[in-house]
Structure 1
Amino acid sequence: MIKLTCTFYIEAMGNDKKAVETSISEIEEKLKKEKVEILGTRREDVIETEDPKFRYSTVLEVRFKGNLPDVIKLVLKYGPSIVEIEDVDGSEIEAEELVSILAGISAFMGNLMERFGSLAAYPDLSSLPTPKVGYDEEEIEKMIIEKGFIRYRFVIEAYGKNKEEIEENMKKALSLEGAYINKFVSKLMEEVEYEGKKRVKLLIAFELLSSIETLFILTAKYAPVGIVIVEPDVVEMTPNELQNSLSELASMVNELIHRHLLMMNQ
């Protein structure tokens, strides 16, 4: 079990000063009831900003100890602007437990993206070369042992103009994220007309090798409907990997929450 001592910086924004004060107070009270050991909290004074959409802002600083699964749940629930990991007790997590954590991230982020839009947005990928698909066992073993990569399988749903374009763009996007593709298969699930244009839905299954950070990012961006870790059976996570993974996750949650706030203020 990995246990963390960390600090969250949670921001509340709005156009009503009293509402911002109330919001941050309620967040503080809710955090004190969570399944973590609160070590201290500090609320900054509400300040007036130059942003016409969010005139007032304040930040709550919360320092606490908790198990990795509980800390990740709080990242998803409260969307901190900043996550700082101060201390890590333990470095290993069973693959089965990690899959459970990833499934929770996938379900939560999938729900947010259904409401506020996808996170999987990329620049034009047409100029990028098509990445290699398929590695021999010696290459895979080298990635796992020397680079600390994880071998895992995802099943996702994807939409686009046609099967070939979706497959090509997905392979390039995965490579751009830092993943190595070992297997890639897809199945056409649905073909519909939308605003006079043909759209298709694919079910895509792929086996990837990547760092733990990339695994977290892809889980949050694509909200896979299926996740399996092939190897190793026990995953080692360094403090730096934990910091990067939680920071990336918090950033993506924040982006979706910010979209919601902008929609409310339009």
Structure 2
Amino acid sequence: MTTMKVRFYIEGLSNDKKALERAVEEIVKSLKNEDIFKVENIRVESILENPDDDMLKYSMMVEADLEGSFKDIVKAAMKYAPVVVEVISPAKMEIEGKELMKILGEVSLFIGELMKNFGTLAVYPRFEEFPEPRIGYSREEIEDSIIDDREILYRFVVEVFGEDQKAIEDVLKKAFDYEGAKINKIVSKVQEEKNGKLRILVAAELISSFETLFQLTGKFAPIAISITEPETIDVSAAELQNVLTDLASFVYELIHRPIKKKIVEHDMFKIKLS
């Protein structure tokens, strides 16, 4: 696979200046010790202070240039959760469908484990007023999407829990449509019932862009993904950049939820006092 060069902007936040300095030192040490991908030009910015923020008063930015395969850079984005990823090269890349499936599987596993501890990422508006999405496309329409729109045909299986099988399937249809995926097929099956909750597997055949495929993988952590067509996916630097930044933001959102909860509780306490 073609190697790529990226620049990570990794932000550290804390209400304790010394703790932030130690955390940044650990980030730099970890980057220097990486042996799967190359790391160069590590730069650490000075600490910035925000006197208006009681909980996270201090911030610090680490910049680093990384070089490696797309798979390695995806792992790095999930490990370091940079606030911004800048793709330096290449201008475009070809990724084999089989390799992409492996990468997506690792993304799903990693984010799925975080979700067990910090909750789901798939949060949507109420779908009652949304129209029913179209289900089913002709072979010609699918080929046009793949060839003309550079989209991907894939199968996606998610595990969900709830009380109403049909309601769950209807919500997922609208969620997939809301994210920008075309639904060719969708079917659900109850696996078991426990304490009034159903464990349901929902399998869907979807058509979407490279970016939407990663968005859905990050938000739903599917238990199975299979790319049907095309065999090779052409991806631009902008698409790579968006996907890596999105993945990093998903991880950042999940691991910082406990901090955000404390900030909200702190703000509510201040409001009550005032």
Tell me the TM-score normalized by structure 2: 0.91
**Aligned partner of residue 53 in structure 1, secondary structure:** coil
- For each residue in 1:45-79, what CA deviation from the matched residue of structure 2 results, as whole angstroms up to 9, or x when unmatched? 12222321112211111112221111100000011
Equivalent positions of 1:111-150 (< 5 A) are 111-150=113-152
Shift of 1:90: 5.5
Segment of structure 1 superposing worse, 48-57 or 117-126: 48-57
Equivalent positions of 1:24-103 (< 5 A) are 24-34=24-34, 35-49=36-50, 50-88=52-90, 91-103=93-105
**Aligned partner of residue 129 in structure 1, secondary structure:** coil
**Aligned partner of residue 97 in structure 1, secondary structure:** helix
Equivalent positions of 1:1-266 (< 5 A) are 1-34=1-34, 35-49=36-50, 50-88=52-90, 91-193=93-195, 198-263=196-261
**Aligned partner of residue 237 in structure 1, secondary structure:** strand
Segment of structure 1 superposing worse, 183-192 or 74-83: 183-192
Shift of 1:260: 3.3
The count of residues paired between Structure 1 and Structure 2 equals 262
- For each residue in 1:119-166, what CA deviation from the matched residue of structure 2 results, as whole angstroms up to 9, or x when unmatched? 000011111111111111111101100100100001111123311110
Of all paired residues, the percent bearing the same amino acid is: 44
Instruction: Give distance in 2, aligned partners of 1:90 and 1:167.
Output: 36
Does the aligned pair in 1 maintain the 2:92–2:236 contact within 8 Å?
no
**Aligned partner of residue 147 in structure 1, secondary structure:** coil
Residue type of the alignment partner of 2:215? I
Tell me the TM-score normalized by structure 1: 0.94
User: Residues 264, 28 of structure 1: CA spacing in aligned structure 2 closer, same or farther, 3 A cutoff?
Assistant: farther
**Aligned partner of residue 10 in structure 1, secondary structure:** strand
- For each residue in 1:69-119, what CA deviation from the matched residue of structure 2 results, as whole angstroms up to 9, or x when unmatched? 111000000111111111116611111110010001000000011100100
Moved over 6 A (4+): none
Instruction: Give distance in 2, aligned partners of 1:163 and 1:264.
Output: 35
Instruction: Give distance in 1, aligned partners of 2:199 and 2:167.
Output: 12
Residue type of the alignment partner of 2:8? F
Residue type of the alignment partner of 2:250? M
Does the aligned pair in 1 maintain the 2:91–2:236 contact within 8 Å?
no
Residue type of the alignment partner of 1:43? V
Residue type of the alignment partner of 1:172? K
Shift of 1:248: 1.2
Instruction: Give distance in 2, aligned partners of 1:2 and 1:144.
Output: 22
Shift of 1:253: 1.2
- For each residue in 1:146-191, what CA deviation from the matched residue of structure 2 results, as whole angstroms up to 9, or x when unmatched? 1001000011111233111101110000000000011101101233
**Aligned partner of residue 91 in structure 1, secondary structure:** strand
| Gap runs ≥5 in structure 2 | 266-274
CA RMSD of aligned residues (A): 1.5
**Aligned partner of residue 205 in structure 2, secondary structure:** strand
Shift of 1:16: 1.5
